[in-house]
Structure formats: structure tokens, C-alpha cells
Amino acid sequence: MIPMHKVFMPDNIDEVMEPLRKVIESGWIGEGPKVLEFEKHISDYIGNPHVTALNSCTSALQLALRLCGVGIGDEVITTPMTCMATNEPIVLTGATPVWADVDPDTGNIDPESIRQKIGVRTKVILAVHWGGYPCDMDEINQIAREHGLKVIEDCAHAWGAVYRDKKIGNHSDFCCFSLQAIKHFTTGDGGVLMCKNEQDHQRSRSLKWFGIDREQRRENRFGIAEWDIIEAGYKFHMNDIAATIGLAQFPYLNEIVAKRRGNDAFYQEHLQSLQRVKLLTEAEDHISSYWLFTIKVEDRVNFIRYLAQNGIAASVVHARSDSHTIFANYNSSGLTGLDEFSEKMVCIPVGPWVNEEDRRKIVAVIREQCW
């Protein structure tokens, strides 16, 4: 079976195991120098100096909402076309998710729908780059400026994606990335929060670890370190074991993204003429990282079944958030773009494990089914 997802590890596993051995033998496995080193690599790669490594993208989202001041009675305009992890933090703050529609040709949140959903209690716009394809961040941020709102980007799919000549991670108030097991590269599990300004960045570094500001560290008369905690925080930090796994994988990130883009180009060339397959729209200045390659088909169940019978995994990956019982009390009517996209979308393998033979087989099987 050609898998839909696969954990990335270097071919030479010693590239991971030897640094891990050194960290473990050092006696320091908590948050330490390896986390700082990892943050520096990410900062240089994205071009954003305000990087905080965390234990998950979900934690990054929850921390971003906290930094935006979101609480009970507030509203966050968001997309249902995403993992549950995007929208559950909204509910946990006591705020209300307000569903915006998506563009059925991309799966991304529709800026015009955002405009229509803004109300007196709106505090944040939350955008998700579906499959790694960038949302229209210029328009979304313009809407936010017009109404005095903050913007959070869920970039879980978007390592290496580029929007108008800048990597995703530079365009909004807060950008949240995932390092979960099956993302482009991984720390086993983890996440990254990127902030637009230094003040939010420094506050995030305190809040990630119980609210302790390590810059204010002092020793009492017994030589014991003390801090004055002025704001309750979380236990969201990354540890040196996770960071070491990430550091071993990081040199391969450009190669991983390039292979995904190469597979995308192959699919684009060989599937675009099929009558029963619709490819998603792509603009020249929106460069995807292709965590997912999504197409739309009419008979999705039989399409997935047919591929499986031929040794190819295919999946919807994420069910729309508003289909879950925990979101049942939030209005999801009138989302026509979402209805079309969520009923027809399906993802096929696109990762770096998909070699020339694999992708030719995938195309051949789809062409047999979808002439």
C-alpha cells in the first residue's frame, strides 16, 4: 500500500540516535540548549526572529488566543475545514467559534465571508492554510486592520509555503506551526509559535512555562533560584529530546518540500485533463508546501475504495469541524462553499516517499477510474 502519511526519518538513523544519546547522557533532557538551538534554526529558515518552540501546535494556538486576549463572550471567526485541534482551543477559552465559508476551489477561508461574519464581539480571525496552500493573507489582514482585529494563522500544513515572496510565518500577528509525527518534519510531537512583535514574543516565552519570566531569575539567601510569577501560564514548552529529533531532521526540510512540489507538478500535468477529477486552483504568488494534494471527485467513497483495492491510500484527512457534537450549538448554515468542498475533496499520497514508480501507478489507477 502506498501510504497517505509516513513519518520522516533520515535514511541513516544514526543521524538521530547519536545526538539523542549525547543529550540523554548529558543528564539534561528538559528545556535547554537544544531547544534554543532549534528555535534559532527555525527563526533563520522562516525569517522571523520571534520564535517559541512548544509541545504542540494546539498549545501554540491556545497561547496565541491568550495573547490576543480572547475570553468568555468573545467570538473568533474561523474555518470548519480543518483539524479539530484548530477550533477546540477557541471553545476552551470560553469564546465562540463563528464559521466562515471556504473557497470551494482551494479549501481556504473566504475573505468575503469573513467580512460578513464580523460582529461587535469579534476579536480574532483564524485562517488555516489547507494542505499547505496559503490563504489570501493580504486581504485577511486588511479586513483585520479595518475592524481592529487580530489574525492567527494555523500553519500546521504549511512548512516552507510562500505567500507573495515571503515564507508563511511572517504575515500576521501570530503563526502556529505543527511538528506532529506526520508533518513535513517532526520532533516526535511539538509546535512553534511565531509572533509579529517583541512584546508578544517575550510574553509567550513566559506563559509557555507557568508564567515564569526567566530573565527575572534571582537567587535567595539560600542560593535557590526564585521568580515572581505575575501571570498564570501553562506547561507548553518543548524539551531537549524533542528538539534534538527536530535538529536532526531540519537539514532535510528543503528537500522534503521540494519532493512534495515535484510530485504535485507531476499530478498537475497528468490529471488536469480528466473529466471526473477537478484540481484545486493555485495562484502564482501562493506557493504551497503540499502537505496534502487535494482533488475533488463526485463519487468519493467509491474513488477511495477503488484506490485502496489497487494498493493506494486516499483520505479526506480532516472532517469539517462543525460535524462534531462539541460544535453542534454553533450555527453552520449557509456555508455553500464548504458544503461543496467537504463533500467532494479527497487527498492522495504526495510525500517524499512517493517515488517515480509510485506516482506513475497513482496516476494510472486514477485515469482508469476517472477518464
pLDDT above 70 coverage of the chain, percent: 97
Residue 335, number of CB atoms within 10 A of its CB: 22
Is the pLDDT confidence value at 150 over 80? yes
Mean pLDDT (the chain, rounded): 96
Q: Residue 221: is its pLDDT beyond 70?
A: no
Estimate the crossing angle of helix 300-309 against helix 356-369, to 10 degrees: 130
Q: Strands, DSSP E only, in the chain? A: 51-54, 75-78, 96-99, 122-128, 150-154, 162-163, 166-167, 174-178, 191-195, 218-219, 225-226, 278-279, 286-287, 293-296, 345-348
Q: Which residues contact 246 (CB under 8 A, 6 or more apart)?
A: 38, 179, 185, 186, 187, 190
Contact 321/86 with Cβ under 8 angstroms? yes
What is 14-100+107-252's CATH number, 3.40.50.720, 1.10.3720.10, 3.40.640.10, 3.30.565.10?
A: 3.40.640.10
Q: Three-state SS for 153?
A: strand
Over residues 79-111, the pLDDT tens digits come to 999 999 999 999 999 999 999 999 999 999 999
First-last CA distance in the chain: 23
pLDDT at 223: 61
Q: pTM here?
A: 0.96
Pick the CATH number of 253-369 from 3.40.1110.10, 3.40.50.1440, 3.90.1150.10, 3.40.1260.10: 3.90.1150.10
Residue 144: the pLDDT is 99
pLDDT for 212:
87
In single-letter form, the type of residue at position 178 comes to: S
Residue pair 2/361 in contact by the 8 Å Cβ criterion: yes
Domain boundaries for CATH 3.40.640.10 within the chain: 14-100+107-252
Q: What is the mean pLDDT of residues 139-153?
A: 99
Indicate whether 287 pLDDT > 80: yes
- Give the angle 260-293-314 at the CA atoms, nearest 5°: 115
Find cell 501560564 and name the residue: 233
Taking only the tens place, the pLDDT of each residue in 161-193 is 999 999 999 999 999 999 999 999 999 999 999
- The x, y and z cell numbers of residue 254, run together, are 528543503
Kindly report, as residue ranges, where domains of CATH 3.90.1150.10 are found in the chain.
253-369
**Whole-number Cα distances in Å, 305 to 8, 37, 300:** 26, 45, 8
pLDDT given at position 37: 98
Quick one: pLDDT band at residue 227, thresholds 50, 70, 90? confident
Q: Over range 47-56, report the average pLDDT.
A: 98
Place 222 in a pLDDT band, splitting at 50, 70 and 90.
low
What is the percent of the chain with per-residue pLDDT over 90, rounded to a whole number?
A: 94
Q: Exposed (0-12), middle (13-18) or buried (19+): which is 316, by Cβ within 10 Å?
A: middle
The total of other beta-carbon atoms located within 10 Å of residue 164's CB is 14
Confidence of residue 369 (pLDDT cuts 50, 70, 90): confident
User: Which residue do the cell numbers 467559534 mark?
Assistant: 97
Closest by alpha carbon to 168, among 335, 288, 277, 257? Answer: 288
Neighbours of 80 (CB within 10 A): 26
pLDDT at 65 > cutoff 80: yes
360 vs 354: CA distance, rounded Å? 10
At residue 228, does pLDDT exceed 90?
no
Summarised one tens digit per residue, pLDDT across range 193-203 is 999 999 999 99
Q: Residue 191, CB half-sphere, CA atoms under 13 Å: how many?
A: 27
Q: Which residue has the higher pLDDT, 370 or 367?
A: 367
Q: Which of 210-214, 306-310, 347-351 has the lowest mean pLDDT?
A: 210-214
The C-alpha atoms of residue 36 and residue 230 are separated, in whole angstroms, by: 24
| pLDDT at 371 > cutoff 70 | no
pLDDT tens profile 240-260:
999 999 999 999 999 999 999
pLDDT of residue 264: 98
